[in-house]
Structure 1
Amino acid sequence: MGDVLIRALAVAAVTCAVTAGPAFADDAREKLFTFKDARITESSGLAVSPTHDGVYYTHNDSAAAPVFYAVDANGRTKATFHLRGAEARDWEAMAATKDASTGRGVLWFADIGDNLDGAWPDISVYKVTEPRTLRDATLPAVRYRFRYEDGARNAEGLMVHPRTGRLYVVSKEFAGSVYAAPKRLRADRPNILRRVAAAPIMATDAAYAPDGSSYVVRTYFSATLYKPSGESIAKVPMPELAQAESIAYTADGRSLLTGSEGKSSPVYRVPIPERALPPASRPSPSATSPRPEAAAESSRPAASEREGLTVRDVLVWFAAAVGAIGVIAFIARRTR
Structure 2
Amino acid sequence: MPPSQTLLRTTAILLLSLLFATAVDADPQRQRIEVRSTWLTEMSGVAASQIHANHYWAHNDSGDRGRLFSFDNKGNMLTELRIDGSSAFDWEDMTSFKDSSGAYLLIGDIGDNMMLRPFADVYLVKEPRDVSKAITHAKVGRHYSLIYEDGPHDAEAIAVDVAERFVYILTKRDTHPRLYRFSLDAIADKAIPLNYLGEIRSIPSVEKHKAQRQGGISGGSPTAMEFNADGDMAMIVTLRNTYYFKREKNQSWLQALNKTPFARTPNRLRQVESGTFTKDGKQVLIGSEGRPAVLEFVDIPAQSKEKEK
TM-score tier after normalising by the smaller chain length: 0.7 to 0.9
1:178 is aligned to: 179
Q: 1:163, CA displacement in angstroms?
A: 2.2
Segment drifting more, 197-206 vs 37-46: 197-206
Number of paired residues? Answer: 256
* Structure 1: 4+ residue segments shifted above 6 A: none
For the 8 Å contact 1:29–1:239, the answer to whether it is kept is no
Q: Does 1:270 align with 2:268?
A: no
Counterparts in 2 of 1:132-151, with a 5 A limit?
A: 132-134=129-131, 135=133, 136-141=135-140, 142-151=142-151
Give structure 2 stretches of 5+ with no counterpart.
1-23, 204-219, 248-252
- Whole-angstrom distance in 2 between the partners of 1:218 and 1:177: 15
Question: Which string of whole-angstrom CA distances, capped at 9 and with x for unpartnered residues, describes residues 16-35 of structure 1?
Answer: xxxxxxxx989523124111
Aligned residue type for 2:272: A
Give structure 1 stretches of 5+ with no counterpart.
1-23, 276-298, 307-336
Which of 108, 113, 121 lines up with 2:111 in the alignment?
113
- Please give the secondary structure, in 1, of the residue aligned with 2:156: strand
Question: Which string of whole-angstrom CA distances, capped at 9 and with x for unpartnered residues, describes residues 268-310 of structure 1?
Answer: 12222212xxxxxxxxxxxxxxxxxxxxxxx4515xx24xxxx
Which structure has the highest helix share of the two? 1
Q: 1:183, CA displacement in angstroms?
A: 5.8
For the 8 Å contact 1:45–1:246, the answer to whether it is kept is yes
Counterparts in 2 of 1:1-336, with a 5 A limit?
A: 28-99=28-99, 101-102=100-101, 104-118=102-116, 120-134=117-131, 135=133, 136-141=135-140, 142-173=142-173, 174-182=175-183, 184-199=185-200, 200=203, 201-226=220-245, 227=247, 228=253, 229-230=255-256, 231-232=258-259, 233-275=261-303, 299=304, 301-302=306-307, 305-306=308-309
- Whole-angstrom distance in 2 between the partners of 1:222 and 1:30: 14
Rg larger in structure: 2
Q: Decide whether aligned partners of structure 1 residues 183 and 54 sit closer, same or farther in structure 2, where only a CA change above 3 A counts.
A: closer
- Whole-angstrom distance in 1 between the partners of 2:139 and 2:293: 29
Q: 1:254, CA displacement in angstroms?
A: 2.2
Indicate the percent of aligned positions where both proteins have the same amino acid: 28
- Whole-angstrom distance in 1 between the partners of 2:233 and 2:147: 25
For the 8 Å contact 1:158–1:169, the answer to whether it is kept is yes
For the 8 Å contact 2:263–2:301, the answer to whether it is kept is no
Question: Which string of whole-angstrom CA distances, capped at 9 and with x for unpartnered residues, describes residues 42-62 of structure 1?
Answer: 010011101111100000000
For the 8 Å contact 2:285–2:297, the answer to whether it is kept is yes
Q: 1:251, CA displacement in angstroms?
A: 1.3
